[in-house]
Amino acid sequence: MTAYILRRILFMIPTMIGIMLVSFVVVQFAPGGPVEQVIAKLQGSDTSATSRISGSAGGDFGSRGMAQGGSGVDATTSKYRGAQGMDPAFIKKLEQQFGFDKPAHERFLLMMWNYIRFDFGSSYFRDVTVLQLIKEKLPVSMSLGIWMTLLTYLISIPLGIKKAVDSGSQFDMWTSTVIIIGYAIPGFLFAILLIILFAGGSFFNWFPLRGLVSDNFWAMPWYQQIIDYFWHLTLPIIAMALSAFATMTLLTKNSFLDEIRKQYVLTARAKGCSRNQVLYGHVFRNAMLIVVAGFPSAFVSSFFAGSLLIETIFSLDGLGLLGFESVLNRDYPVVFATLYIFSLVGVVVNLVSDLTYTWIDPRIDFESREV
């Protein structure tokens, strides 16, 4: 197993390089880079995603650039949209500030060298480091991702087992109908419905509409802080867990149904094993393998990518919203840093998932397999 783990860790290196390289190449061809963003700000056509971003680059160079603007146009200004008529020296200063004065391959190699040392630099348009930004947004994404995943598994697995055991019953048919309807409803639409019903829309005002905690959270006793925290999380987690809950329940049911029909189950029953002994002593270990296989993608998706719309609707400032705004604003240090961290977490969690296979079923031997 040690050799397998080492091979997987070594395989992570080209995987991460490939992910970052493809993303870096795609970004090079994307219009509207950070230089164009600053030019647009200076010319009064702000294209940023949010008004919260303070144009630090514009603040550093804006007044001087406009003062020095002339009629001369060279290759430096002509390659940027809206830069005609601006001082070429000012444009070159912008390129130097954003690192575009270096060739693309040098910028990529420098970025990867810094990322290996977990040095992600600073945001282009916010006066703060990328790690500090992620640290500020992480509590929201952690809260949504961890509790949603935990809630989904705690409900879906027992429900899926119950549906498999009572397959074809009234309980199975009614719960399947509810699950399919829940799966068909988009999470953001269900979130809006929850707001209308329970967050001061047209009916009840039982839950808060924005934020992770109340304004006076730190002045509360510890037990009220716990209540306030989950009070704010209730509606967002329900909205996020809807589709994941349906998928996990049906996956568990189908996995258990497939195992229940196998010969070893009939043999165990013929030997006099009770229903629970057969179900949890034999079937559970084999049926749960496919459920465990889906855990990494489910966890990473809910933790990082799956909460963008929910964060926006409930005014939760997390990593999903941060990444989306950074893409729109061409804040490349934040974009690439979040991509690097998300990808690294993904490959590590996949390795942990494989190791969990061997814990659930010791018969699985990755040592004798190729990576």
Summarised one tens digit per residue, pLDDT across range 218-238 is 888 888 889 988 998 888 888
Grade residue 22 by pLDDT with cuts at 50, 70 and 90: very high
Report domain extents, the chain.
131-360
Going 328 to 79 to 337 to 351, the CA torsion angle's sign is: positive
CA–CA dist 159, 151 (Å, integer): 12
129 vs 307: which has the higher pLDDT: 129
The mean pLDDT of the chain is 78
Question: Which of 48-52, 59-63, 254-258 shows the lowest mean pLDDT across its residues?
Answer: 59-63
- Return the axis-axis angle of helices 104-116 and 2-28, rounded to nearest 10°: 140
Rg (CA), the chain: 26
Q: Which residues of 45-74 are buried (b: 16+ CB within 10 A; e: fewer)?
A: eeebeeeebebbbbeebeeebeeeeeeeee
Higher pLDDT, 171 or 316: 171
The CA-based angle 53-58-64, given to 5 degrees, is: 160
For residue 362, what are the CA distances in angstroms to 55, 150, 370? 56, 25, 18
What would the pLDDT profile of 77-91 be if each residue is shown by its tens digit? 556 665 565 667 777
Q: How would you class 90 by CB atoms within 10 Å of its CB: exposed for 0-12, middle for 13-18, buried for 19 or more?
A: buried
Percent of the chain predicted with pLDDT > 90: 5
- pLDDT of res. 305: 53
Give the DSSP per-residue string, 48-69.
-S-TT---HHHHHHHHHHHHH-
| pLDDT reported for residue 60 | 43
Closest by Cα among 242, 255, 276 to 155? 242
Q: Are 42 and 68 in contact (CB under 8 A)?
A: no
Look at residue 21 in the predicted model and tell me its pLDDT.
Answer: 92
Q: Domain 131-360 is of which CATH architecture?
A: Orthogonal Bundle (1.10)
At 138, the pLDDT band (50, 70, 90 cuts) reads confident
